[in-house]
Amino acid sequence: MKESRPTTSIEIPAGNAVVRGTLEIAANARHLIVFAHGLTSNSRSPRNRLVARSLLHRGFAVLLPDLTCATEPHAELPPRRDGDSLLPTANRLVSIIDWLGSQAATSGLRLGLFGAGSGAAAALVAAALRPAKIHAVVARGGRLDLADDLLAEVLVPTLMLVGSKDKALIDHNRKAGAKMRCKPMLEVIHGTNHLFAEPGKLEQVASISCIWFQTTLTRCA
């Protein structure tokens, strides 16, 4: 296990509002993973925190932002007929990505995004809008189809993690993947749904995610 710096509470400008979150950087970290939760969750999500802790123990830096607290959009995104609720999350992610690139402690770290639920779609939107800054994405139980308009613009390696009990979600992810130029990998975790609540399933998500980020972020360095 690698030592880490103390957890730091941060405030990130997002238009006329502020996104708050916690940042922790493992000693000698080279990569930083930003988490994106859905609109029904927050930065204290125990599932995301478990994955974040696993990444931190493996030498990553992790940022857990509260994407529900800001009220003003920052980046201009194309209008959508469906999934308008993901736009504030994507806007805030773009603000976070830009801010991280301007800070001495994080500007040298390669960025990946870990999105869950509708936050996974927002992560893909942010990756499409900041292709030079985002280098890998993991989507846990994600509704990637909500990012329909920008799926073709996502060029980073993307891993979809879906529970075998979520047949509809598997179908949504496959259809979304077919529209992406950088074809994603779909990993079906057997015996669970999008909550991954069964014993050992979330730990499996964490392990697979760590391997994915380590492999993809190191490869593109």
Which residue bears the tokens 């598997």? 170
Integer angstrom CA distances of residue 192 from 114, 150, 163, 196, 209: 19, 29, 5, 5, 17
Parallel/antiparallel/unpaired status of strands 31-36 and 61-66: parallel
How far apart are the C-alpha atoms of 96 and 28, rounded to whole Å?
22
Q: Are 33 and 114 in contact (CB under 8 A)?
A: yes
> What pLDDT does 39 receive?
64
The residue count for the chain: 221
CA 3 to chain CA centroid, nearest Å: 23
Domains and CATH numbers, the chain: 8-219 (3.40.50.1820)
How far apart are the C-alpha atoms of 198 and 169, rounded to whole Å?
18
Q: Are 46 and 196 in contact (CB under 8 A)?
A: no
How far apart are the C-alpha atoms of 16 and 71, rounded to whole Å?
8
Integer angstrom CA distances of residue 137 from 7, 110, 158: 23, 12, 5
Nearest C-alpha neighbor of 206 from the set 64, 49, 63, 59: 49
Token pair, residue 209, equals 């995610």
Q: Tens-digit pLDDT profile for the chain (221 aa)?
A: 455 567 899 999 998 889 999 999 999 999 999 999 876 555 577 889 999 999 999 999 999 999 876 544 444 444 433 355 688 889 999 999 999 999 999 999 999 999 998 999 999 999 999 999 999 999 999 989 899 989 999 999 999 999 999 999 999 999 999 999 999 999 999 999 988 999 999 999 999 999 999 999 998 65
> What pLDDT does 77 receive?
41
How far apart are the C-alpha atoms of 148 and 130, rounded to whole Å?
17
H or E element at residue 113: strand 110-116
pTM of the model: 0.90
